[in-house]
Amino acid sequence: MASPQPKLPPSLDLIARTIAAEDAYTLSRLKVLERIPGNPIGVAYRIVDEGVTALMARHANWPSFNSVRGLRAVHERHIEPLVQWYRENGVKGHFEMAPGFFHAELGRELHRLGYYQTEFHCSLIAAADAAPTSNGIAVERVTDAGVMEEYLDAYAAGWKFPENERERFKANVRSWLREPDWSLYLARIDGRAAAAAMLYLHHKVGYFADAATDPAFRGRGLHTALLQRRWQDARAAGADVVCSGAAFLSASHRNMERVGMRLQFTRSIWASIQPCPTTS
Protein backbone atom coordinates (compact mmCIF):
# COMPACT_ATOMS: atom_id res chain seq x y z
CA MET A 1 0.00 0.00 0.00
CA ALA A 2 1.29 3.45 -0.89
CA SER A 3 2.31 5.79 1.89
CA PRO A 4 0.06 8.81 2.52
CA GLN A 5 1.15 11.50 0.08
CA PRO A 6 2.00 15.00 1.31
CA LYS A 7 -0.01 17.67 -0.44
CA LEU A 8 1.52 18.72 -3.74
CA PRO A 9 -0.82 21.31 -5.26
CA PRO A 10 -0.69 21.45 -9.06
CA SER A 11 1.01 24.50 -10.52
CA LEU A 12 2.62 25.79 -13.69
CA ASP A 13 5.92 25.86 -11.83
CA LEU A 14 5.73 22.11 -11.17
CA ILE A 15 4.78 21.43 -14.77
CA ALA A 16 7.73 23.52 -15.97
CA ARG A 17 10.16 21.77 -13.61
CA THR A 18 9.10 18.28 -14.62
CA ILE A 19 9.16 19.11 -18.33
CA ALA A 20 12.65 20.56 -17.89
CA ALA A 21 13.82 17.34 -16.24
CA GLU A 22 12.34 15.17 -19.00
CA ASP A 23 13.87 17.33 -21.71
CA ALA A 24 17.30 17.43 -20.07
CA TYR A 25 17.27 13.64 -19.76
CA THR A 26 16.25 13.07 -23.39
CA LEU A 27 18.88 15.52 -24.60
CA SER A 28 21.52 13.73 -22.52
CA ARG A 29 20.53 10.44 -24.18
CA LEU A 30 20.90 11.98 -27.62
CA LYS A 31 24.30 13.40 -26.74
CA VAL A 32 25.49 9.87 -25.91
CA LEU A 33 24.51 8.80 -29.42
CA GLU A 34 26.02 11.93 -30.93
CA ARG A 35 29.42 10.93 -29.51
CA ILE A 36 29.52 7.72 -31.55
CA PRO A 37 32.25 8.26 -34.18
CA GLY A 38 30.72 9.61 -37.37
CA ASN A 39 27.37 10.35 -35.68
CA PRO A 40 25.66 7.44 -37.50
CA ILE A 41 22.30 8.09 -35.77
CA GLY A 42 22.22 11.59 -37.26
CA VAL A 43 21.75 13.43 -33.98
CA ALA A 44 21.07 17.16 -34.03
CA TYR A 45 19.29 19.53 -31.70
CA ARG A 46 18.36 23.17 -31.33
CA ILE A 47 17.63 25.32 -28.31
CA VAL A 48 15.39 27.85 -30.03
CA ASP A 49 14.12 29.82 -27.04
CA GLU A 50 14.13 29.60 -23.27
CA GLY A 51 12.64 26.22 -22.41
CA VAL A 52 12.10 25.22 -26.07
CA THR A 53 14.14 22.29 -27.33
CA ALA A 54 13.99 20.65 -30.77
CA LEU A 55 15.53 17.18 -31.01
CA MET A 56 16.45 15.08 -34.01
CA ALA A 57 17.83 11.59 -34.58
CA ARG A 58 17.56 11.06 -38.33
CA HIS A 59 18.19 7.32 -38.24
CA ALA A 60 16.30 6.43 -35.05
CA ASN A 61 12.56 6.22 -35.55
CA TRP A 62 11.66 7.10 -31.95
CA PRO A 63 9.18 10.00 -31.70
CA SER A 64 10.72 11.33 -28.47
CA PHE A 65 14.08 11.66 -30.25
CA ASN A 66 12.46 13.67 -33.05
CA SER A 67 10.30 16.14 -31.20
CA VAL A 68 9.86 19.74 -30.12
CA ARG A 69 9.12 20.40 -26.46
CA GLY A 70 8.36 23.45 -24.35
CA LEU A 71 6.42 25.60 -26.81
CA ARG A 72 4.30 28.30 -25.18
CA ALA A 73 2.28 31.34 -26.22
CA VAL A 74 4.30 33.66 -28.54
CA HIS A 75 6.42 30.70 -29.69
CA GLU A 76 4.30 30.06 -32.78
CA ARG A 77 6.92 31.93 -34.82
CA HIS A 78 9.33 29.03 -34.23
CA ILE A 79 7.06 26.34 -35.65
CA GLU A 80 7.47 26.87 -39.40
CA PRO A 81 11.30 26.99 -39.33
CA LEU A 82 11.34 23.80 -37.23
CA VAL A 83 8.91 22.02 -39.56
CA GLN A 84 11.20 22.97 -42.44
CA TRP A 85 14.25 21.73 -40.52
CA TYR A 86 12.68 18.32 -40.01
CA ARG A 87 11.46 18.04 -43.59
CA GLU A 88 14.84 19.02 -45.03
CA ASN A 89 16.35 16.16 -43.03
CA GLY A 90 13.72 13.59 -44.03
CA VAL A 91 12.33 13.37 -40.50
CA LYS A 92 8.71 13.33 -39.39
CA GLY A 93 9.03 15.64 -36.43
CA HIS A 94 6.54 15.71 -33.56
CA PHE A 95 5.39 18.61 -31.40
CA GLU A 96 4.53 18.05 -27.73
CA MET A 97 2.03 20.38 -26.06
CA ALA A 98 1.45 20.62 -22.32
CA PRO A 99 -1.75 22.07 -20.81
CA GLY A 100 -1.17 25.33 -19.03
CA PHE A 101 1.31 26.40 -21.70
CA PHE A 102 -0.67 25.55 -24.83
CA HIS A 103 -2.21 28.49 -26.69
CA ALA A 104 -4.71 28.46 -29.53
CA GLU A 105 -2.25 30.23 -31.84
CA LEU A 106 0.14 27.28 -31.51
CA GLY A 107 -2.59 24.89 -32.59
CA ARG A 108 -3.63 27.10 -35.49
CA GLU A 109 -0.07 27.32 -36.76
CA LEU A 110 0.47 23.58 -36.52
CA HIS A 111 -2.81 22.98 -38.33
CA ARG A 112 -1.82 25.44 -41.05
CA LEU A 113 1.38 23.50 -41.61
CA GLY A 114 -0.35 20.15 -41.86
CA TYR A 115 -0.09 18.86 -38.29
CA TYR A 116 -2.80 17.23 -36.21
CA GLN A 117 -3.09 15.72 -32.76
CA THR A 118 -2.36 12.00 -32.82
CA GLU A 119 -2.14 10.86 -29.19
CA PHE A 120 -1.92 11.73 -25.50
CA HIS A 121 0.88 11.02 -23.05
CA CYS A 122 0.59 11.27 -19.27
CA SER A 123 2.90 12.98 -16.80
CA LEU A 124 2.71 11.63 -13.24
CA ILE A 125 4.13 13.27 -10.15
CA ALA A 126 4.53 12.92 -6.38
CA ALA A 127 6.34 14.50 -3.48
CA ALA A 128 9.68 12.80 -2.90
CA ASP A 129 8.90 12.56 0.82
CA ALA A 130 6.03 10.17 0.02
CA ALA A 131 8.44 7.40 -1.04
CA PRO A 132 6.77 3.98 -0.56
CA THR A 133 8.34 0.97 1.09
CA SER A 134 9.76 -1.87 -0.97
CA ASN A 135 7.58 -4.75 -2.15
CA GLY A 136 10.41 -7.14 -1.30
CA ILE A 137 11.87 -7.66 -4.77
CA ALA A 138 15.61 -7.11 -4.87
CA VAL A 139 16.74 -4.12 -6.94
CA GLU A 140 20.41 -3.21 -7.27
CA ARG A 141 22.10 -0.10 -8.52
CA VAL A 142 24.42 -0.80 -11.43
CA THR A 143 27.97 0.24 -10.56
CA ASP A 144 30.34 -2.00 -12.55
CA ALA A 145 30.83 -3.22 -16.08
CA GLY A 146 29.80 -6.81 -15.36
CA VAL A 147 26.39 -5.90 -13.97
CA MET A 148 26.07 -3.33 -16.77
CA GLU A 149 26.04 -6.16 -19.30
CA GLU A 150 23.19 -7.83 -17.43
CA TYR A 151 21.37 -4.51 -17.25
CA LEU A 152 21.66 -4.03 -21.00
CA ASP A 153 20.48 -7.59 -21.66
CA ALA A 154 17.35 -6.97 -19.57
CA TYR A 155 16.82 -3.54 -21.16
CA ALA A 156 17.10 -4.88 -24.71
CA ALA A 157 14.76 -7.76 -23.94
CA GLY A 158 12.24 -5.47 -22.27
CA TRP A 159 12.18 -3.05 -25.18
CA LYS A 160 12.09 -5.96 -27.65
CA PHE A 161 15.18 -5.06 -29.63
CA PRO A 162 15.65 -7.48 -32.53
CA GLU A 163 18.33 -10.06 -31.75
CA ASN A 164 20.52 -8.89 -34.64
CA GLU A 165 20.58 -5.31 -33.29
CA ARG A 166 21.30 -5.96 -29.63
CA GLU A 167 25.09 -6.06 -29.74
CA ARG A 168 25.28 -2.80 -31.68
CA PHE A 169 22.84 -1.18 -29.24
CA LYS A 170 24.91 -2.32 -26.26
CA ALA A 171 28.13 -1.04 -27.78
CA ASN A 172 26.51 2.36 -28.37
CA VAL A 173 25.23 2.86 -24.83
CA ARG A 174 27.69 1.25 -22.42
CA SER A 175 28.77 4.79 -21.51
CA TRP A 176 25.39 5.23 -19.75
CA LEU A 177 27.17 3.85 -16.70
CA ARG A 178 29.30 7.00 -16.52
CA GLU A 179 26.72 9.66 -17.38
CA PRO A 180 26.40 12.43 -14.78
CA ASP A 181 23.08 12.57 -12.90
CA TRP A 182 22.07 9.10 -14.14
CA SER A 183 21.54 6.05 -11.93
CA LEU A 184 20.84 2.65 -13.46
CA TYR A 185 18.92 -0.13 -11.71
CA LEU A 186 18.54 -3.85 -12.28
CA ALA A 187 15.87 -6.12 -10.80
CA ARG A 188 16.30 -9.89 -10.67
CA ILE A 189 14.10 -12.94 -10.40
CA ASP A 190 15.85 -16.04 -9.01
CA GLY A 191 19.17 -14.36 -9.73
CA ARG A 192 18.38 -13.69 -13.37
CA ALA A 193 18.46 -10.16 -14.80
CA ALA A 194 14.79 -9.42 -15.44
CA ALA A 195 14.10 -5.66 -15.55
CA ALA A 196 15.98 -2.39 -15.94
CA ALA A 197 15.28 1.27 -15.26
CA MET A 198 16.91 4.69 -14.83
CA LEU A 199 16.73 7.61 -12.42
CA TYR A 200 17.74 11.04 -13.67
CA LEU A 201 18.22 13.94 -11.24
CA HIS A 202 17.71 17.51 -12.42
CA HIS A 203 17.39 20.53 -10.11
CA LYS A 204 15.84 18.49 -7.26
CA VAL A 205 13.48 16.62 -9.59
CA GLY A 206 13.86 12.86 -9.78
CA TYR A 207 12.76 11.60 -13.20
CA PHE A 208 11.93 7.89 -13.54
CA ALA A 209 12.94 6.89 -17.06
CA ASP A 210 12.94 3.91 -19.40
CA ALA A 211 11.76 1.07 -17.20
CA ALA A 212 11.66 -2.18 -19.18
CA THR A 213 10.86 -5.75 -18.11
CA ASP A 214 11.84 -8.87 -20.02
CA PRO A 215 8.51 -10.31 -21.27
CA ALA A 216 9.39 -13.64 -19.64
CA PHE A 217 9.17 -11.96 -16.21
CA ARG A 218 6.23 -9.59 -16.57
CA GLY A 219 3.39 -9.57 -14.08
CA ARG A 220 5.65 -10.24 -11.10
CA GLY A 221 5.96 -6.76 -9.57
CA LEU A 222 9.30 -5.77 -11.10
CA HIS A 223 8.14 -2.42 -12.46
CA THR A 224 6.70 -1.53 -9.07
CA ALA A 225 9.93 -2.53 -7.32
CA LEU A 226 11.95 -0.33 -9.66
CA LEU A 227 9.63 2.61 -8.99
CA GLN A 228 9.97 2.14 -5.23
CA ARG A 229 13.76 1.91 -5.25
CA ARG A 230 14.24 4.93 -7.53
CA TRP A 231 11.81 6.97 -5.45
CA GLN A 232 13.70 6.14 -2.26
CA ASP A 233 17.03 7.03 -3.88
CA ALA A 234 15.69 10.28 -5.32
CA ARG A 235 14.55 11.34 -1.86
CA ALA A 236 17.92 10.39 -0.38
CA ALA A 237 19.66 12.46 -3.08
CA GLY A 238 17.72 15.59 -2.09
CA ALA A 239 14.91 15.61 -4.66
CA ASP A 240 11.68 17.21 -3.51
CA VAL A 241 9.62 15.95 -6.47
CA VAL A 242 9.57 12.73 -8.49
CA CYS A 243 7.93 12.34 -11.88
CA SER A 244 7.59 10.04 -14.84
CA GLY A 245 5.64 9.55 -18.05
CA ALA A 246 3.43 6.79 -19.42
CA ALA A 247 0.85 6.03 -22.04
CA PHE A 248 -2.62 6.73 -20.67
CA LEU A 249 -4.03 3.75 -18.71
CA SER A 250 -1.04 1.58 -19.62
CA ALA A 251 0.34 -0.91 -17.12
CA SER A 252 3.04 1.63 -16.26
CA HIS A 253 0.45 4.34 -15.63
CA ARG A 254 -1.52 2.03 -13.34
CA ASN A 255 1.58 0.92 -11.42
CA MET A 256 2.60 4.53 -10.81
CA GLU A 257 -0.83 5.36 -9.44
CA ARG A 258 -0.73 2.28 -7.19
CA VAL A 259 2.54 3.35 -5.55
CA GLY A 260 1.24 6.86 -4.85
CA MET A 261 1.98 9.00 -7.91
CA ARG A 262 -0.85 11.00 -9.43
CA LEU A 263 -1.67 12.31 -12.85
CA GLN A 264 -0.20 15.80 -13.21
CA PHE A 265 -1.21 16.53 -16.81
CA THR A 266 -1.78 14.88 -20.16
CA ARG A 267 0.23 16.29 -23.04
CA SER A 268 -0.91 16.15 -26.64
CA ILE A 269 1.36 14.90 -29.41
CA TRP A 270 1.06 16.47 -32.86
CA ALA A 271 2.36 14.82 -36.03
CA SER A 272 2.35 15.73 -39.71
CA ILE A 273 -0.46 14.49 -41.90
CA GLN A 274 2.01 14.44 -44.79
CA PRO A 275 4.18 11.39 -45.58
CA CYS A 276 7.68 11.56 -44.19
CA PRO A 277 9.92 13.12 -46.84
CA THR A 278 13.03 11.31 -48.04
CA THR A 279 16.51 12.68 -48.45
CA SER A 280 19.43 11.45 -50.49
Tell me what the mean pLDDT of segment 93-105 comes to. Answer: 94
pLDDT at 61: 83
- Judged on CB neighbours under 10 Å (0-12, 13-18, 19+), 1 is exposed
Q: What is the mean pLDDT of residues 232-253?
A: 96
Q: What are phi and psi of 168, to 5 degrees?
A: -65, -45
What percent of the chain shows pLDDT beyond 90? Answer: 88
The mean pLDDT value of the chain amounts to 93
Residue 6 has pLDDT above 60, yes or no: no
Domains of the chain: 12-123+267-272 (no CATH), 127-264 (3.40.630.30)
**pLDDT value of residue 1:** 45
Q: What is the pTM of this model?
A: 0.92
Query: What sign does the CA torsion over 191, 193, 196, 200 have?
Result: positive
Is residue 280 predicted with pLDDT exceeding 50?
no
Angle between helices 145-158 and 166-173 (to 10 degrees): 130
Parallel, antiparallel, or unpaired for β 94-97 and 67-69?
A: parallel
**Does the pLDDT at position 30 exceed 70?**
yes
- Residue 245 pLDDT greater than 70, yes or no: yes
Q: Which residue has the higher pLDDT, 277 or 145?
A: 145
Range of weakest confidence among 100-114, 130-144, 262-276? 262-276
Mean pLDDT in residue range 258-275: 92
